[in-house]
Amino acid sequence: MKISARRDSGGRFTVAFDDLRITLDDAEVRLLLAKLKEVAGSIPPAESHRRLVAQIKAANDPGIQALLRTAAEDDLLVLLKLGERDIGLRAKLYGNMSPRARAMFQEDLAFKFKDGVPKGQLALSLARLHRTLAALGRDGVFTVAHSTTVATDDHA
């Protein structure tokens, strides 16, 4: 398979995988690189989780509500399971849920991942959550303190 990448004068990147071509902006390239590093083992899941939690804790409430509507339930359960001892994360997420939704998540969490999160599911869930936050950030829905979009620079 031949892989190539070029940057155009507008700052967008065109990546080609044989005959398949995709165009990405700077944020999408950084996110892609971060995911490739994560899959290759350069960014451990714990670091990926730490960055995700930091973004969520600094997010606006409408952004959290959009995340709760958009993200897969299992991915949110993984996030909550990994952050069981993180009072700030739980408060941010549960504070943006209805009492009924909160009760359902708590019940599902107690049942589904009582023995922990399978390693394969962990990396996939974190990657999907990062993609969801990036998409919501591009749409201007998910904003974090001191920024208007989700920070995707994994070198910070």
Q: How far is CA 147 from the centre of its chain?
A: 17
What mean pLDDT is predicted for residues 55-84?
92
Q: Which residues of 49-64 are buried (b: 16+ CB within 10 A; e: fewer)?
A: bebbbebbbbbeeebb
pLDDT at 153: 42
Q: Where are the domains of the chain?
A: 44-138
The Cα-based distances of 91 to 64, 65, 102 in angstroms read: 11, 13, 11
CB 50, CB 43: distance < 8 Å: no
Read off the pLDDT of residues 112-156 as tens digits, 9 standing for 90 and up.
888 888 877 888 888 899 889 989 988 888 887 654 344 444 433
Read off the pLDDT of residues 5-20 as tens digits, 9 standing for 90 and up.
888 888 888 888 888 8
Average pLDDT of the chain to the nearest whole number: 82
Which helix H or strand E contains 26, and what residues bound it? helix 26-40
Threshold 0.85, pTM exceeds: no
| C-alpha span between 109 and 74 (Å, rounded) | 9
Read off the pLDDT band of 37 (50, 70, 90).
low
146: which DSSP letter?
Answer: T
The pair phi, psi for residue 31, each rounded to 5°, is -65, -40
| Top-level class of domain 44-138 | mainly alpha
pLDDT at 102: 94
